[in-house]
Amino acid sequence: MRNKILWAVIVVGILIGGGIFWLNSDITHKKYETSGIKTSPMMQLSDNDPRFETWGKYFPDYLDMYLSIEKSKPKPTDFGGNLSYSKLIRYPQLTVLWAGYAFSADFNEERGHFYAQNDQMSTARNHKDFLNSWGLKAFNGQPTACMNCHSGWVPWLYKNVAKNDWVVFNTTQYWTMIKNVPVMDGQAPDSEAHRGLHGGTKMGLTCADCHNPDDMSLRITRPAAIKAMIVRGYQPDPVAGIKASRQEMRTLVCSQCHVEYYFRPTGEKVTVMGESISKDPNAKWWNGTQKTYEETDIWRNGNKPIEISADGIELTFPWGEWKKGKPFRIEMLDDYYDKISNIFPSDWVHRDTKAPMLKIQHPESEMYSGGVHAANGVSCADCHMPYIRKGSKKITQHNLISPLDDINSSCKSCHTQSEDYLRNQVYTIQNSVAFDLRSAEYAIVSLIADIKYMRDQLGKISTYQTDGKPDDAKISKALGKILELHRKSQMRADFVNAENSGGFHNPKEAARVTLQAVDMARSAQTLLAEVAAQNHIPFKASSLGFKDMQKLNPGELKWKADVNGHKKGDRYYDEKDVNIDPPKDLIKLDEEINPYNYKVLDKNITTH
Amino acid sequence: MVIVAVFVVVVGLGGAFYTFYNAKGFSYLSSNSAACNNCHVMNEVYDDWNKSSHREVATCSDCHLPHEFIRKWIAKAQSGIGHAYAFTFDKNLPMHFSASKKTQEIVQENCINCHLPYVQNVVNPTLRPEHQDKSLKCVSCHQGVGHSRGF
């Protein structure tokens, strides 16, 4: 009996003792964690090796956060998120808005910084053979200018391959430049270690793109951003790129890439690296013309670098009219692009209307600049990289996803209301902007249908013909003002659509810009009625809506012909989680948005 | 056998004692605000309190614990155990906390405790039963007096 009690004392004592020692070590560990991050003199980081795993050795918490995107399940938000569904399936109107441009074939929700380079390598927009077979023959493959924002190797390539020549760097073919990513640690060029997501050629953005290797301070590494900010009135800085306070830098490092841009032709020929495959008479594109480069990321089968001459381009932010300290306005883009229309008339010519079009790309910096958060000195990082706790440490979140993923950390550092209240504020803003944006898109698709009809009708009248055939130039002249309204209204809808916040970055500007877009599209339809009356053409303005758009659903991307060993009808993407159907509830949401179904959309919204 | 048992108990007690010391256990018996800041999740509010108008006149416990002796120590024990558990085992503590119903009541009671003589013409009407559910609290308007985050 006595033994049993003793045994019990021993067992219970050991269990309790073990628990106490575990608790003790937990306490000690948390105390140690609060001592914070220290840069070590042993750290040997430089721009010669920007790999996130090299830098991450010294900052394992940050590397874990950054890489968590690869392992965690992608999350869609109502109008964003990182689930890579096909935006063309969700918004089929885009296939008409962008008709004749590569985006009308392939456009997915983006998966974030880690996947930036991988996704640029896999998008159909970067595959000449695919686009050829889709009838987009004018497209000549992407230049390296496109890579500026997709690879952590860009500063290295700019320095070592383009020899710090900005125009040479941008002008080189994308697929030629990527073959120059250095093979590290004696890896084989054809190995997974070099070509995989964690290796060289597919490596997306890294620590070095925003951080200085010496002290981890924020810096701007991309020349296009530095040049553009100097134009706006910033002072250059040899270390940080430009002179700015830390709080400003917490926005400006994002502005290296989250902006509208275009490729400005320099008007001069430059000598750049080409590929010897362009001399191989057996190397042909799908349509039988001479191959000028190989659409892969390594040199192989005797293909070598050669020197070629090319028309110079440079990545440029159209910020000439936007001065430092001022909010951005869409009219600044009108003024800018009108001024340079002789050297840069358009991104592409619209297939149906023949209007010279501008495609706006992710202008988050511009949209945000005039918003209420910017006015209060809130930086991009304050919401998108909120302070979080990891153990006992306070660190900035580095997974770079929507603030809606963690409203507590991001919004509630300033706003004291409940998370539900804050989420509802975001939802009502985004739903309201979505209503505006869909109104604009439906109006512009209606306008495009009407212009197309009018072009066909005018082509039957001899005044608009040359040698008995419709003359596109004569018709475009007669529709001059209408085509300009098409260009400008669509550029406005694009501005709000391409800006990744569903309007939240600046709701009042989003509303103003989309109202202009609707107004311009409907005005153009009125002008079309006048043209119709003058030419005795029967005309009834179109007014298309959600259901009409759904009929344009292109489905997931498939090969349209036998190309490069792919069979007609095969799925284009190898990755199963890319280019998928959007979640059904999002389509349902879009259906309720315009016309606005308050019974559904406001169900969970209450007032005081 | 007895020796082993005694040994286990002694080592266990010693460990427990050291752990209590390591966790600065004795500080929790005081009213010093620094004790609340033993826990890192309190860093921000502690910093804010240090800059606040109440720093010289009220500690954390002056606002967050009842002033009567027995209620105070019951509340202290309850919160202490809850906080210790959450701090040790909850890996997903939110970055920013919201005041619970109980905290709101205690804080309101303590505002009144110190300020009643001056503000009773304001407070007394709001204490009527018909206002109890939805009436404003002192901190609804005076958000920044304790720590700049409202919670």
Checking if the pLDDT of A35 tops 70, the result is no
Q: Do B1 and A9 touch (CB under 8 A)?
A: no
Q: Where are the beta strands (DSSP E) in B58-135?
A: none
Average pLDDT over residues A165-190: 95
Does the beta-carbon distance from B95 to A412 stay under 8 Å? yes
Q: What is the Cα–Cα distance from A233 to A322, expressed in whole angstroms? A: 9
- Of the candidates A17, A24, A388, the beta carbon closest to that of B8 is on A17
Q: What count of CB pairs under 8 Å joins A to B? A: 70
> Measured over all CA atoms, what is the biggest interatomic distance in chain B, rounded to whole angstroms?
72
Is residue A561 within 8 A of residue A287, CB to CB? The reply is no
Say yes or no: ipTM exceeds 0.90: no
Which of B8, B95, B150 has the CB atom closest to A416's CB atom?
B150
| Overall average pLDDT of the A530-544 stretch | 96
Confidence at residue B124, expressed as pLDDT on a 0 to 100 scale: 74
- Distance CA(A309)–CA(A259), nearest Å, equals 30
Residue B151 pLDDT greater than 70, yes or no: no
What kind and span of H or E run contains A266?
Answer: strand A262-275
Q: How far apart are CA A558 and CA B64, in angstroms?
A: 64
pLDDT of residue A65: 94
Band (A2; pLDDT cuts 50, 70, 90): confident
Query: Residue A263's closest CA among A311, A215, A305?
Result: A311
Do you find a cis peptide bond into A60, omega within 30 degrees of 0? no
Mean of pLDDT over chain A: 93
- Model pLDDT for residues B109-122, shown as the tens digit of each residue: 999 889 988 888 87
User: pLDDT at position A22, please?
Assistant: 84
pLDDT of residue A273: 97
Find the chain A residues whose C-beta atoms sit closer than 8 A to any C-beta of B. Answer: 3, 6, 9-10, 13-14, 16-17, 20-21, 23-24, 26-28, 30, 34, 386-389, 392, 394, 406, 408-409, 412-413, 416, 418
Instruction: Name the residue among B1, B8, B94 with its Cβ closest to that of A408.
Output: B94
pLDDT digits (tens, 9 = 90+) for A232-260: 999 999 999 999 999 999 999 999 999 99
**pLDDT cut 90: percent of chain A above it:** 85
In chain A, what residues touch B48 (CB-CB under 8 Å)? none
Please report the pLDDT score of residue A249 as a whole number: 97
Q: Model confidence at A300, in pLDDT bands (50, 70, 90)?
A: very high
pLDDT at residue A40, as a whole number:
63
Contacts of B16 in chain A (CB under 8 A): 16, 20
Interval A545-567: pLDDT, tens:
999 999 999 999 999 899 888 99
Q: What is the pLDDT of residues A50-61, one digit of tens each?
A: 999 899 999 999
In three-state form (DSSP H/G/I as H, E/B as E, the rest C), the secondary structure along A142-184 is CEHHHHHHCCCCHHHHHHHCCCCCHHHHHHCEHHHHHHHCCCC
Residue A417 to residues A426, B44, B99, B126, B128, Cα–Cα distance (Å): 13, 18, 11, 22, 26
Distance, first Cα to last Cα, chain A:
69
Q: How far apart (Å, rounded) are the C-alpha atoms in residues A458 and A320? A: 39
For residues B61 and B33, what is the distance between their CA atoms, to the nearest angstrom?
7
Contact between chains at A3 and B93 (C-beta distance less than 8 A)? no
What's chain B's average pLDDT?
A: 85
Q: A469 by DSSP, 3-state: which?
A: strand
Q: Higher model confidence: residue A211 or residue B52?
A: A211
Does B96 sit within 8 Å of A412, measured CB to CB? yes
Q: Assess whether pLDDT exceeds 90 at residue A20.
A: no
The H or E element that residue A268 is part of is strand A262-275
Distance (Å, whole) CA A92 – CA A87: 8
pLDDT tens, position by position, A594-605: 999 999 999 888
pLDDT digits (tens, 9 = 90+) for A417-439: 899 999 999 999 999 999 999 99
Residue A317 has pLDDT above 70, yes or no: yes
A262 pLDDT band, cuts 50/70/90, is: very high
**Residue B98 is nearest to which of A388, A413, A418, comparing CB atoms?**
A418
Evaluate whether B138 touches B104 at the Cβ level (below 8 Å). Answer: no
In 3-state terms chain B splits into helix, strand, coil percentages (rounded to 5) of 65, 0, 35
Segment (H or E) for A383: helix A380-384
d(CA A444, CA A320): 28
Among chain A residues, the shortest Cα distance to B151 is held by A416
Instruction: Say if residue B99's pLDDT is above 90.
Output: no
Residues of B in contact with A406 (CB under 8 A): 95
The pLDDT score that the predictor gives to residue A37 is: 55
Please, which residues 42-71 of chain B have a Cβ atom closer than 8 Å to chain A?
Answer: 43
The angle subtended at Cα A522 by Cα A516 and Cα A527, nearest 5°, is 120
- Is residue B84 very low, low, confident or very high in pLDDT (cuts 50, 70, 90)? confident
The pLDDT of residue A39: 56
CB A116 within 8 A of CB A151: yes
Confidence of residue B24 (pLDDT cuts 50, 70, 90): confident
